[in-house]
Structure 1
């Protein structure tokens, strides 16, 4: 069994040559246990990959049910054929949410989300980097990772491009040694081929570096594409990224079509002298239990002082009721308000109304025209908060329509 833990999709702009969902479908056919989509400083492609993985799971479940009811279709396999030549039609690869963090002052690190806490940590790191940089840029420093900690994540360290006797690698080693002191048990060194005929020597150098740092090595094909047919597209993307013609890319072009998603059998041939790296990659993937299915939308907290959102909304609504009806409100209006507040509390929608109230007040304080419209006019709460300007008691629509 094998799991690919460092995939680059086309959400790494002008670098990856395949969609996240293409990787999922290819991984299913290749029989991979799990894959990690790890784009540069983003988790934007994870949602598409997650949706594709769910669709693959649905199709596999349908196929299993059909085969259980009707049996396999087609002639029987020859008795001397040990491995069927068909694709792994029953495989559902597990998606591991991840991102490859590119630091300003440290080597690249792929961060794998082990659980929900790890996913939250990864998202906070990316938010930190993007908030301090221009649009489309993510500025992260090593100190950001050290401050954030590593609760719920595993770190894959990418080795330097030049490994020959490590001359000139001091700049790479300095932050790495600091990382290993802080996060040693959660760090792993990626052993990835370059497909240039020098991989045996490169693997030996990486193994020596891992021994020096006291880190375990993990195998990864570091795919840029789900299939070798995408090589030409990858070169076109590189030409656009560098602002040159394709025929002048030179060494920036891919030397071949090898940097693609690979099956376990292919990886075993590539790493025949380092089989433990494949086993470690699979073992690590088994520790990754987080799925986007565990997430539910959680509206931002609207706690103010010692008041709960329910108490604050009720107070603002009652104050607004006196403002809207200075000479007293009717029993009908008071009944409608009580009904709406009860339904809002039941559905836990108070933060939404409080946020809208803050937006309306912000606009009104600055003389910006702001008016609720549509079915919001059915709500006494909206009327009391000043979101709408027409009392809903003169209409016949119900509040439930707005909710």
Structure 2
């Protein structure tokens, strides 16, 4: 008979289980378990990674949840629910979401279990509780209520591994009396038995008490092992577990991104509306638009129409218009969106892509269709107002912030374990101090022990230290609490609980249970609403200036103020966005900016790798070094950066000029060569040289230019982003 385990809590039952999903799947494979059921408490945090890990390992995933319900008579008890199909999966998401807002009762399940299987757990259900207290009348009331509520043929009683347990004979009698099948199960909270001490530690951390005060009877030693099939009841229970597993078939396919339809004001459909607003915006931005601007806008609108992203642009411009009307500061742009003329004329951005030679294809590539990503900065103290406006406009059930997890870092794990083991504080701090603090990267306990001979010798010598480190390493990296992503917001045409379960944070703010990576893989549309403190400062500065100069506007500020450039050239940049570090000040003193393009270049060059070209840029700017170009034809592209390839857009322009690439193809080339895969580099070399030869260049010249592209592909910075953020730098310098 197949091996099936249905009642499993993963690490996403926060501080309740040590069973990591990858370890569960690995252990299941070792025991030849063919199907696993996930039943985390009231939440579905781990559903998608669990599903994917099982499918990859050839194990059938059963998506479930352990729901806490008001008792029929008193207190709170558990019910395990499993999705039979996609409709059942959606019902679980809705139930999980509701359970985060209020305490559910059995009545809340009425009429909602047609696509679910329900199992009353042996350890945690109300019926089993009354069995153990020998309250036969209340057992009868409880089971009758459950049987009346759950759809016919879908309610089971869990049959545990240990058959000598008190009350189990009465449990069997109840199953027969109410014609309820039994199903194999145990509350698995460990992937294997070696995790038991870590599980106890996790519970002690949760309760905030030392391990010695823990009641270990509350923590059964249930690890993931095959279910015994010796007795008749065990065989019957195991067979029913197989029946449930065979009946369940959820398919988590990515959905097509579907934004709400934008409420139209002027035209009959979103494409016409976008065209109208863009044409009006073009006249506003350029009093007499050039042929280049007209042609570029028509080109962009054609691509936006063909890709079906008109509603996206309309939605974004609408909440930005709201912010501006409400006096909320909005950033001049962020990321590759600043390369879009449509975004500029809609006033989504304040950077003219024609003036700054920014490329639309770096933002939305017609040769590689992916959902556009317009990230918007708002003043940080009023960002929530814009999110609230968006939720009210499209419906609070259609908009949610993105959830994240706070995990046990190495130092936090050491301190928590040290505390519950009652380790002297001096020893805890000594151990935590061994973990190096590296910005942007968390060093693990295992890496530190391997690399630090002093630490290795110390924990070998000190038993108390070794005990702390062993347990800390076991819980390190596990999710500890939920949090909210700094910027990400999901906006959907459909009710979000059709696609993702929700949490509710302070002020009843809906937050997705799934983190960003899972949401994007599921096809949900993310918009980043970022809060930027510098914009709040600029807003206050502008308000102060307007007391004397009523016409003043940062948005209309010309980018050629000599005093601002002089300030930057001196490196006097405390409080100036992006330019505050000592290294950045030194770079500014070398380059001595006297035009806006120099600020953009400094922002792009001051990073590991390209910063080695700062001296070349500075020396060429000031005539101390001759400016050289890979080929004379590239001078128009590289003149502003003195022959140094600073931007990704320059790579794209070179490929278009010399090898006849479209900008879309050139963007694909840029992406491909930056990965530095040998076979890809050679394939792209052949295509580049072939295109260049057709345009009259020698293969030797083309090969040298291609080598230059490859060298700078890693270094090149997104010019659209550099220009947009340099505007904020300049405004603060001004």
* Paired position in structure 2 for 1:388: 349
Alignment check: 8 A CA contact 2:4 2:33 kept: yes
The number of residue pairs the alignment matches comes to 352
* Paired position in structure 2 for 1:337: 297
Match for residue 144 of structure 2 among 177, 183, 207:
177
Of the structure 1 ranges 226-235 and 353-362, higher mean CA displacement relative to structure 2 is found in: 353-362
Cα offset, 1:299, TM superposition: 3.9
The answer to whether residue 35 in structure 2 is matched with residue 28 in structure 1 is no
Match for residue 237 of structure 1 among 192, 198, 202:
202
Alignment check: 8 A CA contact 2:6 2:37 kept: yes
**Equivalences for residues 92-131 of structure 1 within 5 A:** 92-105=58-71, 107-130=77-100
Alignment check: 8 A CA contact 1:96 1:291 kept: no
SS at 2:5 equivalent: strand
**Equivalences for residues 2-401 of structure 1 within 5 A:** 2-56=3-57, 92-105=58-71, 107-130=77-100, 132=101, 139-146=103-110, 149-158=112-121, 159-160=125-126, 161-164=128-131, 167-168=134-135, 177-185=144-152, 187-193=154-160, 195=162, 198-199=164-165, 202-254=167-219, 257=221, 259-263=222-226, 266-269=227-230, 271-292=231-252, 294-296=253-255, 298-304=257-263, 308-325=269-286, 327-371=287-331, 372-401=333-362
How many angstroms apart in 2 are the aligned matches of 1:320 and 1:164?
A: 73
Cα offset, 1:385, TM superposition: 1.9
How many angstroms apart in 1 are the aligned matches of 2:274 and 2:148?
A: 50
TM-score, scaled to structure 2: 0.44
Cα offset, 1:170, TM superposition: 6.0
Alignment check: 8 A CA contact 1:109 1:156 kept: yes
Of the structure 1 ranges 14-23 and 391-400, higher mean CA displacement relative to structure 2 is found in: 391-400
SS at 2:15 equivalent: coil
Alignment check: 8 A CA contact 1:153 1:186 kept: no
How many angstroms apart in 1 are the aligned matches of 2:317 and 2:97?
A: 26
**1:345/1:176 Cα in 2 relative to 1: closer, same or farther (>3 Å)?**
farther
- List gaps (5 residues or longer) in structure 1: 57-91, 134-138
How many angstroms apart in 2 are the aligned matches of 1:181 and 1:299?
A: 39
How many angstroms apart in 1 are the aligned matches of 2:81 and 2:63?
A: 9
**1:250/1:347 Cα in 2 relative to 1: closer, same or farther (>3 Å)?**
same
- Pick the structure with greater CA Rg: 2
- List gaps (5 residues or longer) in structure 2: 365-734
**1:391/1:251 Cα in 2 relative to 1: closer, same or farther (>3 Å)?**
closer
**1:393/1:20 Cα in 2 relative to 1: closer, same or farther (>3 Å)?**
same
Q: Deviations over 1:203-242 (max 9, x none)?
A: 4322322334443221112211111111112222222233
Alignment check: 8 A CA contact 2:262 2:314 kept: no
Alignment check: 8 A CA contact 2:6 2:38 kept: yes
**1:164/1:284 Cα in 2 relative to 1: closer, same or farther (>3 Å)?**
closer
SS at 1:39 equivalent: coil
Higher relative contact order (CA 8 A, sep 6+): 1
Alignment check: 8 A CA contact 1:2 1:279 kept: no
What is the RMSD computed on CA atoms of the aligned residues?
A: 2.9
* Paired position in structure 2 for 1:71: none
How many angstroms apart in 1 are the aligned matches of 2:294 and 2:139?
A: 69
How many angstroms apart in 2 are the aligned matches of 1:180 and 1:329?
A: 72
